[in-house]
Structure formats: C-alpha cells, structure tokens
Amino acid sequence: MNELDAELQTWGHPYQLWIELSRQDAGMDAVFVHSNNPNDDNFPHTVLSLSNSVGPLPDYLESIDDLKNYQIHSYERKDYDAFDDDIPEEVIDQVLVIQRLDCRFPL
C-alpha cells in the first residue's frame, strides 16, 4: 500500500487508498483505490458502518513495525453460504479496514 500511495501522489488527482482484510475469506482481501467519478457524486467514499472495535488483530498485522502509522477499523459483511443446498446459512464476516493515518480522505 505504501508503494502504491507513493506512485499515486504523483498522479495529481485526489484519491482514497485503503486495504480490506476479511477474517473469513482471504479471497475477499483487497487494496482499494477510489477517485472522483464524473458520472456520480460519490467521492470521497464513506463506509457508514465503520467501527473502531476491531478485536484482537491477526499476528501478521501485530508484527508490522510501523503499525502505529495506520488506523484500523472494521465493519461486518453479511453473506450467505452458497454451497448450502437446503436453507442458505447467513455468514457474518468482520472485515478489517486499514488506512494510513496521514491520508487526506479517510473513509
């Protein structure tokens, strides 16, 4: 994310940059870059259900030396088990949202 942020700073346009890490499904982990869209008024992007309550962090995050330079929030993502043939079971995932503390446009 830091390398991407350094490159985006030379772009000359406002942007938001964040990471989302799923506690349930690593396939949902992603780095997001959001910028102004001429077809919609949705910049900056906000996540209304963002919470400061993240619980214990995974070991791989705790081991980051400069973790104090980031803000970590979370939100719950609700989905349904697609492989359940009878009654789909609701699955609730806590997604960690990571942004640099010095970002210009926080979520």
Q: How confident is the model at residue 80 (pLDDT cuts 50, 70, 90)?
A: confident
Q: How confident is the model at residue 97 (pLDDT cuts 50, 70, 90)?
A: very high
Q: What is the pLDDT of residues 30-70, one digit of tens each?
A: 999 999 988 888 999 998 899 998 999 999 999 998 999 99
Show Cβ contacts of residue 62 under 8 Å, excluding neighbours closer than 6 positions.
Answer: none
Q: List the strands of the sheet with 90-100, edge to edge.
A: 30-35, 15-22, 90-100, 70-80
Output the six-digit token pair for 63: 């081991």
For the chain, the first-to-last Cα distance in angstroms comes to: 16
User: Can you give the pTM of this predicted structure?
Assistant: 0.86
Average pLDDT, stretch 10-39? 94
Predicted confidence (pLDDT) at residue 88 exceeds the cutoff of 80: no
